[in-house]
């Protein structure tokens, strides 16, 4: 579904991605784990088009993304729930969700919103409140729900567990896992390597702008290098 080949990207003159190769197949949950500053978020920004790439190709469903600007990628089926949640803080929860389905004006918008409220009941309770007043966990739920409103085939999730209490982290990971049943393919970027690998099919380990290890998630959890460096075991 999503193929990344030799992608390089720079901030100014400093190259932070040194040729990334990665593949996400239809129906998979794939995770990219790695330490802070490894370039994971930059990689996702390249995929969603909010960060320019200097080399390499991104192909989504057989189509090159080179000439597709950020705001058109959702209509191709690729959604991103960005790092730091990035919700519309001064709009209400409901307005945030409605804007998630900005591209659509049909009856499915309402049923999708009901789905989102069923998935995150707390959002329904707070539907008329300004999103900026939600707690961190609720904002994360809103960011995921908003991305799903765009009816993506593939969802890019950037650090959904960042800054959340352990109980909420578990809840968010459960939701990510449940996306599989909704036919949404997931690319999950996480510092919480153990939690991410547990729900993923395959994983990539990223270090300072390069993919260093890749494989099936259970193998990676068992890999001594990863256990030592990322799992703290």
Partner 1 sequence: MDALLQFLFSGLTVGAVYALVALGFTLIYNASDVVNFAQGEFVMLGGMITVFAYQAGVPLLLAATLAILITAALGVALNKLAIEPARGAPVVSLIIITIGASILIRGATQLIFDKQLHRFPAFSGDDPIRVMGATILPQSLWVLGGALAVFAVLWVFFSRTLTGKAVLATANNRVAAQLVGINTGWIMTLSFGLSAAIGAFAGVLVTPITLVSYDVGVTLALKGFAAAMLGGMGTPKGALVGGLLLGCLEALTAGYLSSQYKEAVAFIVILGTLFVMPQGLFGAKTTERV
Which one among 8, 15, 50, 55 touches partner 1, defined by CB under 8 A? Answer: 50
For residue 220, report the phi and psi dihedrals to the nearest 5 degrees.
-65, -40
Can you read off the two tokens belonging to residue 197? 């690998």
Residue 194 binds partner 1, judged by CB under 8 A = no
DSSP helix/strand/coil, 116: helix
Which one among 82, 160, 203, 209 touches partner 1, defined by CB under 8 A? Answer: 82
Which one among 10, 35, 99, 122 touches partner 1, defined by CB under 8 A? Answer: 99
CA Rg value for the chain: 17
Find the shortest distance in angstroms from Cβ 69 to partner 1.
Answer: 8
Residue 127 binds partner 1, judged by CB under 8 A = no
Find the shortest distance in angstroms from Cβ 142 to partner 1.
Answer: 11
Can you read off the two tokens belonging to residue 200? 């993923």
118-127 contacts, C-beta under 8 A, 24 or more apart: 119/145, 119/175, 119/178, 120/145, 120/175, 123/93, 123/97, 126/93, 127/92, 127/93, 127/94
Selected range binding partner 1 among 33-41, 69-77, 198-206, 220-228, rule: CB under 8 A? 69-77
The kind and range of the H/E element at 58 are strand 55-60
Selected range binding partner 1 among 10-18, 23-31, 35-43, 44-52, rule: CB under 8 A? 44-52
151-174 b/e (C-beta count within 10 Å ≥ 16 → b): bbbbbbbbbbbeebeeebbebbbe
Selected range binding partner 1 among 63-71, 118-126, 198-206, 221-229, rule: CB under 8 A? 63-71
Residues that bind partner 1 (CB under 8 A): 48-50, 69-72, 74-75, 79-80, 82, 86-91, 95, 98-100, 102-103, 105, 132-136, 139, 146-147, 149-150
């Amino acid at each position: 579904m999503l193929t990344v080949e030799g992608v390089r990207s720079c901030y100014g003159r400093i190259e932070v991605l040194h040729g990334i190769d990665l593949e996400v197949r239809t129906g998979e949950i794939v995770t990219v784990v790695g330490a802070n500053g490894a370039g994971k978020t930059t990689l996702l920004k390249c995929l969603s088009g909010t960060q320019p790439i200097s080399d390499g190709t991104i192909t989504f469903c057989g189509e090159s993304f080179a000439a597709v600007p950020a705001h058109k990628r959702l209509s191709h089926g690729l959604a991103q729930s960005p790092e730091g949640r990035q919700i519309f803080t001064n709009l209400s929860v409901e307005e945030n969700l409605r804007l998630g389905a900005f591209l659509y004006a049909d009856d499915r918008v309402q049923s999708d919103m009901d789905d989102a409220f069923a998935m995150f009941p707390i959002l329904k309770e707070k539907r008329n409140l300004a999103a900026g007043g939600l707690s961190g966990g609720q904002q994360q739920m809103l960011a995921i729900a908003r991305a799903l409103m765009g009816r993506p085939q593939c969802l890019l999730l950037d650090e959904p567990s960042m800054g959340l209490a352990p109980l909420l982290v578990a809840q968010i990971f459960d939701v990510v896992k449940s996306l599989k049943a909704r036919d949404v393919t997931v690319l999950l970027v996480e510092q919480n390597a153990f939690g991410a690998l547990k729900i993923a099919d395959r994983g990539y380990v990223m270090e300072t702008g390069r993919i260093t290890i890749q494989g099936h998630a259970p193998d990676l959890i068992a890999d001594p290098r990863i256990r030592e460096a990322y799992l703290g075991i």
